Structure 1
Amino acid sequence: MSKLPNEAELFKKALQVGAVYAKKRAYGEIEETDSVKLKVEFIYKVLVEDKLIQPLAKENISDPNMRHKLALWLSRQLPEGHALLKE
């Protein structure tokens, strides 16, 4: 698992975009008081359920790996040349 350029920023944006997506798909809303770990797990499961990302192998499911998957997902949604994709 190689780090993406600007992975932390991509991850933060993925949480925002994922929360909007989950709400539009009627999976529920993320509360401000929810922990980041809970948000990550919720959005990861929503994206896996809708087959937008490939699930991690059971032995590889962890918070850092889910964060990486979310950042990778968002990086593929952004147009080429986007500021978050530049090193």
Structure 2
Amino acid sequence: MTNVFGEVAMKKIKNEAELLKKALIIGEKYAINRGYESFKPTNSAKDKIESLYRLLVNDKLIHPLPVENENQLNMRHKLALWIAKQLPEGHALLK
């Protein structure tokens, strides 16, 4: 499905904002375990999202977006989907 700009529109998932917050927390822990420094308090959410997205793509934990669809909205969505798949069945964010 494409939107009026010809971009692929991703289906909104329930609790996406909360899932993204969880993904940023877990993703930062993953990055630290991989040897990266933790985020600084001055890092913007945009920078964190893009950094974690690129790390997970690099480590083949998520499939990359087509280059023309690499934007903050789609990266946020991919991170939310990633963490949703990591959570145990019945988790409060999945209801």
Same topology, TM > 0.5: yes
Alignment length, in residue pairs? Answer: 86
Normalised TM-score (structure 1): 0.96
Sequence identity (%): 59
Q: Write the distance in 2 (CA, Å) between the matches of 1:70 and 1:49.
A: 14
- Name the one with the larger helix percent: 1
Per-residue displacement from partner, 1:22-74 (whole Å, max 9, x unpaired)? 01001332111100000000000110010000000000000000000000000
Q: CA RMSD in A?
A: 0.7
Q: Which protein shows a greater Rg?
A: 2
Higher RCO (CA < 8 A, seq sep 6+): 1
Normalised TM-score (structure 2): 0.88
5+ residue gaps, structure 1, are: none
Runs of 4+ in 1 over 6 A off after TM superposition: none
